[in-house]
Amino acid sequence: MTSLSVCVPAYNSARTLATTLRSVLAQDVDFELLVLDNASTDDTGEIAHSFDDRRIRILRNDTVLPIGANWNTAIRACTGTLVKVVCADDVLRPNALTTQLAVMADRSIAISSSRFEVIDEAGEVLESGLGLAGLEGRQTPRALAGTIVRRGPADFGPTAAAMFYREHFDRVGGLRGDLVFPMDVDLFARVASFGVFFGMTEILAAWRNSSFNLCSQTSTVSKLTDMYRFHHRLAGDYPDLVSRGDVLAGDTRLAKAALHRLRVRTVATVRNRPDLVV
């Protein structure tokens, strides 16, 4: 049986880490659970060490690493043939690993991902059945990369929904950490070049929409800038996977998002400072 590592990079994650680890350890398969504490200053380390399970292995960085370097460190420290990365505030749904491992038994599949739910800070489901629009079933690397560029990472789903091969991660050089917001889908598009992508209709993971996760703490400008750089870098590195039309569609989507954000901020400014309107 192919071995699996579930990697949980954690930084000051005391509020949610226990829930995340319980959702992983409740899976009824054999795997390695690697928790990398990124030099947290809260109780992250203590919470991780409180779990008595032979499948868990806990490491700690001496100093805080940038998110990309931290994720790369976690994945490179794991021992599994297959890898799943679960953020320390997300959760896996029951039988997620069993279901996904059955798909990955087909060695022509380089990466798979599932639909997902959005939960709030208390764990209540806000939305369900999201992700992978137009990417269900077997898809070529070209279809995956083009769709991600055209539609954006939010429509693809969270990192916790995906599973890929460690060998392919190493061959593409790991995550490109300077692309903070889209660094996971950038990796997924690149590792998919070694086979096919399989989009699963099952809901296997939940992404937490909270005031304390990286997404909520990242400015819209930073996200849009990262996405623009992602589009053009992926197209430059993999011209056989991403067309000029894909890039144009993706950039147009970003421009519309930027204009919408500008309108929202303008309306808010006018409401708060009507004296600025001439």
Tens digit of pLDDT for each residue in 215-249? Answer: 555 567 788 889 899 999 999 999 999 999 999 99
List domains and CATH numbers for the chain: 4-210 (3.90.550.10)
As given in the structure block, the two tokens for residue 274 are: 């009507």
Which residue has 């969270």 as its token pair? 158
Q: Is the pLDDT of residue 178 over 70?
A: yes
Considering only 81-85, 89-93, 200-204, 267-271, which range has the smallest mean pLDDT? Answer: 267-271
Measured CA to CA, the distance from residue 157 to residue 51 in angstroms comes to 28
Q: Is the pLDDT of residue 273 over 90?
A: no
Per-residue pLDDT, 154: 78
Q: Is 12 left (phi over 0), alpha (psi -120 to 50) or beta?
A: left
Query: Which one, of 226, 231, 237, 230, lies nearest residue 249 by Cα?
Result: 231
Per-residue pLDDT, 270: 43
Q: What pTM value is reported for the model?
A: 0.88
Q: Is the pLDDT of residue 266 over 70?
A: no
DSSP string, 253-264: HHHHHHHHHHHH
Residue 49 is classified by DSSP as H
What value does the mean pLDDT take over residues 1-11?
A: 90
Tens digit of pLDDT for each residue in 135-150? Answer: 999 999 999 999 999 9
